[in-house]
Chains A and B, each alone.
Chain A
């Protein structure tokens, strides 16, 4: 994902492109591009990111609307999950004879 630092007068806005590679899968971030509006962003995304049938559906969103977590706060941000290993199935000690579980 890109960040636009300054406003550039002649520059079309930046868009983030998400592509669903086939029905049944999530849209995944593919990259970014510049376009004047959403329709043009979708058309450009088709030409830039799906020249080899990489997608069946495209999402575009203007980059300025994306908010991200702060990587410098990762430690405290994800800390609550750290000591909860009992959320994983392997935490439980069960006999080997036990099947289908």
Chain B
């Protein structure tokens, strides 16, 4: 087959919604776009453990603690599913870690905000995992097979993450005046960063068009953001809390909520590394990696020793 016909065959598969698998021919840019997106996604799951890990020892009850621990462990799993999906594209795990630790690769900016109170565990589960689910459900049908399969597994597990978060918010909202205030404060701080999670507006998102054409992305950033706002505003009513947006208004004609201007300057500032916790997150992550070095070495040495022993026994 000539390059031309390889490309035609690839496009034909996309048109017919036939998944692209690791050994199939794919354009270089498709491969690069996927490696970037999947690894960014994996990094986000891994760094995303840090803000919540911060509260595991201080969870208010054993039940909450067990739940938070299970949630954070799931996020580690999500990172691992995604790293191995990225590896099918020919990049190594070490390279991916290196890109994260050197600051070359990005992860979701949302994790560069601090978790100040217990209510933040509620707001993160409800809003951050909620926004992630909105992003991830269409990815279960993304064109690259290993990515889509990883996302199916991730989405199955995400649902409890959001529900446990909402439950925390609900409990606080129905609690004392102070608890309710705590919940509102968390909503105030997490609302805008959460709706920024969908990424820059379509007009300023250079990769969106290509990604939609290649069926990597199924919806644009703005479409998903609107969908998230529409459902989340309704959920806020159940909590009896207020969305921190004075321009928020139901638009009968559009059948959607209109919302206020997003502070994109803040978004880009955090992306560039100047958010409240960028430095701390990366340092914590690097420290964990470096201090785990001896464990990795010891396990490799032990495996080697056992292999040798088994060889000797066979020879004997």
CB distance from A28 to the nearest CB of B (A): 11
Cβ-defined contact, B80 with A71, below 8 A: no
Chain B hits for A12, CB < 8 A: 296, 299-300
- B residues with CB within 8 A of A: 1, 21-25, 70, 73-74, 77, 80-81, 84-85, 87-88, 90, 92-94, 149-150, 153, 157, 296, 299-300, 302-303, 306-307
CB distance from A58 to the nearest CB of B (A): 15
Cβ-defined contact, B21 with A36, below 8 A: no
Which one of A31, A34, A47 contacts B150 once the chains associate, using CB atoms below 8 Å? A31
Cβ-defined contact, A10 with B94, below 8 A: yes
Instruction: List, sorted by A's number, 18 A–B pairs whose CB atoms are closer than 8 Å.
Output: A1-B88, A2-B87, A3-B22, A3-B87, A4-B87, A11-B92, A31-B149, A32-B84, A36-B296, A36-B303, A37-B303, A48-B80, A48-B81, A51-B73, A68-B23, A70-B23, A71-B21, A72-B25
Cβ-defined contact, B300 with A36, below 8 A: yes
CB distance from B67 to the nearest CB of A (A): 13
CB distance from B112 to the nearest CB of A (A): 27
Chain B hits for A8, CB < 8 A: 92-94
Is A42 interfacial (CB-CB < 8 Å)? no
Asked whether A31 and B81 contact (CB < 8 A) given A3-B22, A37-B306, A68-B23, the answer is: yes
**Of all chain B residues, which has the CB nearest A40?**
B299
Excluding A32-B87, A48-B80, A71-B24, 14 further A-B contacts by CB distance (< 8 Å) are A2-B87, A2-B88, A5-B90, A6-B92, A8-B92, A10-B296, A14-B84, A31-B149, A32-B84, A36-B300, A37-B303, A52-B157, A68-B23, A72-B1
Is A60 interfacial (CB-CB < 8 Å)? no
CB distance from B224 to the nearest CB of A (A): 26
**Complex alpha-carbon distance, A40 and B301, angstroms:** 13
**Complex alpha-carbon distance, A32 and B83, angstroms:** 9
CB distance from B145 to the nearest CB of A (A): 10
User: Which of A36, A47, A70 has most chain B Cβ within 10 Å?
Assistant: A36
**Complex alpha-carbon distance, A5 and B74, angstroms:** 28
Cβ-defined contact, A1 with B22, below 8 A: yes
Cβ-defined contact, B92 with A5, below 8 A: yes
Asked whether A3 and B88 contact (CB < 8 A) given A11-B94, A12-B296, the answer is: yes
**Of all chain A residues, which has the CB nearest B20?**
A71
Cβ-defined contact, A51 with B74, below 8 A: yes
